[in-house]
Amino acid sequence: MNSGPHQSHPPQRRDASVALSYDDGCRRQLRDAERELGAYFAAVAELFGAEAAAHAADCWIALLETTNLPVFDGRLSWREITILAASRLAIEEQTSWCSVMQRSDNEAPTGKGHHNDQHRA
């Protein structure tokens, strides 16, 4: 038997139940995240259309990548990401709507579709 410095050792193995438990936990987390994002995407698509839903999903994923998620009962809180994404989407929409309203208030009517008060009897 070789007992020199180059003796090979069998690779250390993790307990199979720990590995399965970890893998099951990861799968469950991934499944939960997919469900949450899918439900959010479907709701935004139904209310605002596919383009808004795609933007909302991008925002959800960006928040996921940049936010420290709280953990409850050993599971990540995907709903927290959805709430943050919906809040940001609402703020963006409100800001966009306010910008459009400010522009329309500052523009003179073009005459198209507007009633001209001078022609009223």
Overall pTM surpassing 0.95 (yes/no) = no
Q: Look at residue 66 and tell me if it is in a domain.
A: yes
pLDDT, mean of residues 22-51: 91
Counting the structural domains of the chain, the total is 1
Number of Cβ within a 10 Å radius of residue 37: 19
pLDDT, mean of residues 66-74: 76
Q: Look at residue 68 and tell me if it is in a domain.
A: yes
Alpha carbon distance, N-terminus to C-terminus of the chain: 115
The amino acid at residue 54 is: A
Q: Look at residue 59 and tell me if it is in a domain.
A: yes
Q: Is the pLDDT of residue 118 over 50?
A: no
Q: Look at residue 2 and tell me if it is in a domain.
A: no
- At 29, is the pLDDT very low, low, confident or very high (cuts 50, 70, 90)? confident
Structural domain boundaries enclosing 98: 16-106
Q: Look at residue 121 and tell me if it is in a domain.
A: no
What is the per-residue pLDDT for 62? Answer: 92
pLDDT, mean of residues 59-80: 83
